[in-house]
Structures are given as structure tokens and as C-alpha cells.
Amino acid sequence: MNLLKTFFGIGGMTTISRILGFIRDTVIARIFGAGLESDAFFVAFKIPNLLRRISAEGAFTQAFIPILSEYKTKNSSLELESFINKISTLLGLFLILITLLGVFGAPWIIYITAPGFVTNPEKYSLSLTVDLLRITFPYIFFISLVSMAGGILNTFGKFIVPAFTPVWLNISFILGALFFADYFNQPAYVLAWSVFVGGILQLMFQIPFLKQIGCIPKLDFNFKEDGVWRVLKLMGPSILGVSVAQISLLINTIFASFLSVGSISWLYYADRLLEFPAGILGVALSTLLLPSLSKSLSNKNKSEYSELINWALKLGILLAAPAASSHAWCPTYYNALLLRGFY
């Protein structure tokens, strides 16, 4: 019952975020529609978003939380603090390097991910897309730290805080598009800056809760820690696993960049629909389950581990069956909401 209560708590916070995401998409559709500026922004936003899903919320989280749970269960508080400090410092250095490469290498990244923008300069604004990418790319730095902080909070049982955190990105988008778009000669810039500000807001929101459990990371450049290298080893297979779907989305963008103006925007709106049920049910269940399974495994409690797996499978089937039966009306309902932004 405690797990079920926590699951619905996480699902409730995620639902709030997804509803605000619908409002965000409607506002963007109303102001920007599906045209040159929206295409440029969605290409620029997709790059750090894909990296976030591959590294931060994917491979790193899957590798980090089991090791963190083991340290929390078997090691002293000083050893746990040392592990968090070292992995945070290493992650921060890596993110700074990636961010700098992304900002200075923006033209080449666009050439690879949206080659149609390069071959059709009269149809797309390449310079605008590059500028937007340089503004949005630091988002990978902020959101990766947010994911690490969320993993720590989830391991300590603070599930609601990471589940609510994405709300701040949606709020940043909505307020930016509604109240600040007129201050830019090209309004798409306000969307890029909304991503930048949203990343900062998400990170700042989690810091007080990290302080509450005494896990504010500190700089520690001594990486001679067994747990740090175990995380890095586990990330290898995880990256391969989570990259498949993201590379597929990237290929879709490459093809769409050769199509008529607005194609990338429509692809983005469709992808948002696809993510809605997975975001509410799948993410909530995996967020709750990973720390719990990691704790059972580190304690070598096989019976509890099996019970958690069985409970998750039953709950997943119970919730997925009605969602599958509603596939016929769900796209129609979403399109009705989204088209309100265009008319």
C-alpha cells in the first residue's frame, strides 16, 4: 500500500507536468504555429533533449542509482558523501566539456542533425537555428545535474520532488511565450531562453531538498573511488540500450529537414502525444521501482525483489490495458486541444 500510494503521488505530479506540457504546446502552436521559426527552435531543442535522454535520464540514472543505493545501505555516511562528491565532480567536468563543444560546434551539429537546413538555405534560416542551438545547448548541463539530484532524492525516498521538477520548464515556456516574445525581433529566441531559464529553475528547485537530507555535492577531484568507476562501467551497456529509440527520433528529424516548412514542428507535436502515457505511467513506475529493487538487491533479499517485480508487472498490466483500449480516441482528443492553438 505504501508503494501504491507513492506511485500515485509520483503519477499525480507527472500528470500535472504533462497537463502543463499540453498547455505549453498549445501556447507555442498559437503564437508560432508550424513554420520556419518553430522548425528552427525544435531542431535546436531536440539536440540537448536527445543527449539528456541518452545520458542524464537514461544511462547515468540507470547506472548511478543502484550503486548509490548500495552505498546508502552498506557504507557509512562519510563514504556515501565521498561517493556523491566524486561522481558529481566528474559529471560536472564532463558536462562543461560537452557544453563547450556543443556551443562552439553548433554549425557542424546542425549540418549532421538537420542537413536539409544546409541544402535549402532559402527555405530555412540556418543562422537562426545555430543561434538557438547555442542558447539551448547548456540545458544539457543543467538537466543532467537535475537528473543526478533527482536520483539522490529518489534513493532517499523523496519521490515527489523530482516528479514535480519538470513543471518549472513548462512554466518557463508558457510565461516566456506569453509575455516576452514581443521583446525579440525574432520571437523564437524567447523559446530558446525559456529552455535556458527552465534548466536553472529546475536545478535551483531541488537544492533545498538536497540540503534537507544533507547531500549537497562538493568538489572532490580525487576519483580513486571504486563506486565511481563501477558507475562508468555500467553506463556503457545502458547507453547502447537507451540510444536506439533516440537515434530513431534523430533520423526522423533528418528526413523531416528535407520536407516542406513546418514538417519538423508537426513531428514534434506528434511525438509529444506519443510520450504522454509513457510519461505518466511508465516513468512513475520506473522512478519508484529502480531504487526499491536496488535496495533489495544490495541486501540480497531475493523474496522482496521478486515481490516487487510481480507487483510492478500486475500494476503495469492493470493500467496499460485500459490505455491500450483507448487508443482510438486519444489522438483525436489531443489534436482537438492542440488545434485550438492554431485557430
What is the percent of the chain where pLDDT is above 70?
A: 83
180 in helix, strand or coil? coil
Whether 329 shows a pLDDT value over 50: the answer reads no
Residues 6+ apart with CB under 8 A from 145: 88, 91, 92, 95, 203
Give residue limits of the domains in the chain: 2-342
pLDDT above 90 for 223: no
Q: Do residues 167 and 20 lie in contact, with contact meaning Cβ atoms separated by under 8 Å?
A: yes
Q: Scanning the structure block, which residue is given the C-alpha cell 489534436?
A: 335
Confidence of residue 324 (pLDDT cuts 50, 70, 90): low
Give the pLDDT of residue 106.
92
pLDDT exceeds 60 at position 111: yes
Rounded Cα–Cα distance for residues 71 and 152 (Å): 11
Tell me, what's the pLDDT at 3?
Answer: 67
Q: Any idea which of 138-152, 208-222, 273-287 has the lowest mean pLDDT?
A: 273-287
Does residue 343 have a pLDDT over 70?
no
| CA-derived radius of gyration, the chain | 21
Helix axis angle for 36-51 and 126-136, nearest 10°, is 40
Q: What is the pLDDT of residue 56?
A: 64
Q: What percent of the chain has pLDDT over 90?
A: 25
- CA angle, 99 then 102 then 108, to 5°: 170
**Cα separation, 330 vs 130, whole angstroms:** 35
CA 42, CA 269: separation in Å to the nearest integer?
Answer: 10
| 56 contacts 202 by C-beta, under 8 angstroms | no
198, pLDDT greater than 90 = yes
CA distance 236 to 233: 6
Per-residue pLDDT for 2 more than 50? yes
Residues whose CB falls within 8 Å of the CB of residue 341, separated by 6 or more in sequence, listed in order: 25, 26, 27, 28, 29, 30
Tell me the pTM.
Answer: 0.82
Among 34-38, 261-265, 325-329, where is mean pLDDT lowest?
325-329
More confident residue, 206 or 275: 206
